[in-house]
Amino acid sequence: MALYHFHVSRVLRSRGQSSVEAAAYRAGEKLEDRYYGKIADYTAKGGVICAEIMAPDYVPESFRNREFLWNAVEEVEKHPKAQLAYSFDIALQNEFSIEENIAIARQFVMDNFVAKGMIVDMAIHNPDKNGGIPNPHVHVMCPIRPMQEDGTWGEKQKREYLFDADGNPILDGKGNPKYNAVPTTDWNRPEVLEQWRKAWADLVNSEFEKRGIHEHIDHRSYVEQGIDLIPQVHEGPHVRKMEAKGIVTEKGELNRWIKEINQGIIILSKHLKEIVSNITELIRLIAEKEAEARQPDLVSYINSYFAKRNEVANTFSRGRQRAKATNLKAQAYVINYLCVNQITTLDDFRCFISKKQSDIHNLNESMKSKSARIKELKDLIRYGEWYQEAQPILRELCSTKNAKRKEQMKSENSEVLRRYHIAKRILSEKKIDKVDVSRWQEELTSLQDSYQKEYARYRELSAETKTLRDINMYIDDVIRSTHPRRKEEPMR
């Protein structure tokens, strides 16, 4: 299934991040970080397929060396909280070979980043999933500061001074002229990011079409697409770092679960919609040919299909009996399924599929509601525990008369008290009158149990959809072989 993922962040010195280390990690190389005075060595990192620097023609050759480039970025950025680089993380497609993915990524980078004057450090990763679903992706880092055509660094921002109606400079409280800091490029504008996101989707979809691959990705959010799925929980940098080290976290596990269900619901809905559409077409074909109003029952179609399968099996020189036994088992299972669910005609089958579509929709709505409440309860429990943790200290502070001792207690328990004030503010905003962690925990446990049952129901619907697709295929084969589609008359 085609996947759309296009995420952009920034490498920030204010968070202790280094552009040299970030580049070394993405490229799987060993680089000297002169700003922090250390060596960033990621040569043991696996899964790096290729790494290269692309830039406009006017950029000096020295900047095409990774270590020189990013140390130059660190050197030119003087502020201790400087923004160093844009970092893009873009999913590649399993439908393409790794060579095709590299060529597509290069084309996108050249057309959208380098063409705008950006220096690009690109790395393609294809990590070993140990038998799991491959996850090829491309990392792109670009310095935030632009480079001028003379090969020197430009300014990130320029000052636009403010004037009053009479043309006099507007001054601040210290008598200095007021101004707005205006970026010298449009790289950080939301509408430009949206253009890049759409351009990536358009390029990938174009490549799908060229290769005759019936897949499609969409840069829009679920809400923008009108798709009502379960939202994931925000993980945050701490959780992502733990997950990157192979440490399974509660939020990471929940998001993996939600991803599986969302992808599954999309696939199930698509399959059932295709079956309904096909059944409608089959009914039309029958109506054109059948003189009698009554539709033949589906069991007769199933029997006809497997009779043809057995005719083929009789031509086998080896394995004839095994093939016929397999056919008999599948035939009996399908007929029993139709009988148990009282499906006798194509109209019955169409109505049954519609009910399954409704079941999937209701299941999705229920799981979405429970997921939101689970997230809310986890927050309440965390803040409730912070609130309760501070109560003994607060009681002791209230009973202590000695001012020096009070200050000492506040100093010794500063972190606990800091969390208490955060929890108090948030619980007050949520209008929580009574902090009852045990009740919230009981509700959370109950919801998680219910969520597990609904997940089991989702798995049942997945298996059932496969059976429905098989039945649709059997019926389709028989009807189309006896009622061929009419050829369209050529346009004159």
Residue 224's pLDDT is: 56
Whose CA is closest to 9, among 89, 113, 92, 66? 89
% of the chain surpassing 70 pLDDT: 81
* pLDDT on residue 357: 82
Instruction: List helix spans (H) across 212-249.
Output: 222-225, 236-244
Average pLDDT over residues 331-353: 86
CA 29 to chain centre: 28
Task: Report the amino acid identity of residue 249.
Answer: T
The topology under which CATH files domain 6-219 is BirA Bifunctional Protein; domain 2 (3.30.930)
Residues 6+ apart with CB under 8 A from 243: 235, 249, 252
Contacts of 207 (CB under 8 A, 6+ apart): 96, 100, 104
The pLDDT-based confidence of 272 (bands split at 50, 70, 90) is low
Q: How crowded is the C-beta side of 444, counted as CA atoms within 13 Å?
A: 15
- Residue 80 CA to residue 75 CA, distance in Å, equals 11
What pLDDT does residue 369 have? 85
Lowest mean pLDDT among 227-241, 359-373, 424-438: 227-241
Least confident among 41-55, 185-199, 210-224, 317-331: 210-224
* 177, β-bridge pairs: 171
pLDDT at residue 252 greater than cutoff 70? no
Average pLDDT over residues 414-435: 87
Tens digits of residue pLDDT in 449-486 = 888 888 888 888 888 888 888 888 888 888 777 655 44
Q: Are 98 and 126 in contact (CB under 8 A)?
A: yes
Mean pLDDT of 416-440: 88
* DSSP string of 336-392, one letter each residue: HHHHHTT--SHHHHHHHHHHHHHHHHHHHHHHHHHHHHHHHHHHHHHHHHHHHHHHH
Residue 417 has pLDDT above 70, yes or no: yes
The yes-or-no verdict on residue 56 having pLDDT over 60 is yes
What is the band of 291 on the pLDDT scale with cuts at 50, 70, 90? very low
Contact 102, 137 (CB under 8 A): no
Beta carbons within 8 Å of 440's beta carbon, 6+ residues apart:
377, 380, 381, 384
DSSP 5-32: -EEEEEEEGGGT--HHHHHHHHHT-EEE
Q: Is the pLDDT of residue 63 over 90?
A: yes
In angstroms, the CA 48 to CA 104 distance is: 17
Distance CA 123, CA 69 (A): 15
Percent of the chain with pLDDT over 90: 26
pTM: 0.50
The pLDDT of residue 268 is above 80: no
pLDDT of 489 strictly over 70? no
Neighbour count for residue 41 (Cβ, 10 Å): 15
Burial of 298 (0-12, 13-18, 19+ CB in 10 A): buried
**Average confidence (pLDDT) over 73-82:** 90
Backbone angles phi, psi at 151, to 5 degrees: 85, 15
- Which is higher by pLDDT, 15 or 141? 141
DSSP state of 169: B
154-205 pLDDT per residue, tens = 988 877 777 777 777 787 878 788 877 778 888 888 889 889 999 999 999 9
pLDDT (0 to 100) of residue 488: 41
Determine contact, residues 118/109, Cβ cutoff 8 Å: no
Q: Does residue 55 have a pLDDT over 90?
A: yes
Rounded to an integer, the average pLDDT of 220-242 is: 56
**More reliable by pLDDT, 398 or 296:** 398
Query: Which amino acid is residue 317, in one-letter code?
Result: S
Element (H, E) at 39: strand 38-41
Q: Mean pLDDT in the chain?
A: 82
pLDDT score, position 105: 94
Determine contact, residues 87/9, Cβ cutoff 8 Å.
yes
pLDDT exceeds 80 at position 276: no
Res. 101 pLDDT band, cuts 50 70 90: very high
Predicted pLDDT of residue 24: 93
How far apart CA 143 and CA 118 sit, in angstroms, is 7
What's the rounded mean pLDDT across residues 17-35? Answer: 92
**Residue 280 clears pLDDT 80, i.e. is over it:** no
Q: What mean pLDDT do residues 217-237 have?
A: 58
Residue 440 confidence (pLDDT): 92
Any idea what DSSP says for residue 488? Answer: P
Report pLDDT for 481.
Answer: 77
Band of pLDDT at residue 240, cut at 50, 70 and 90:
low
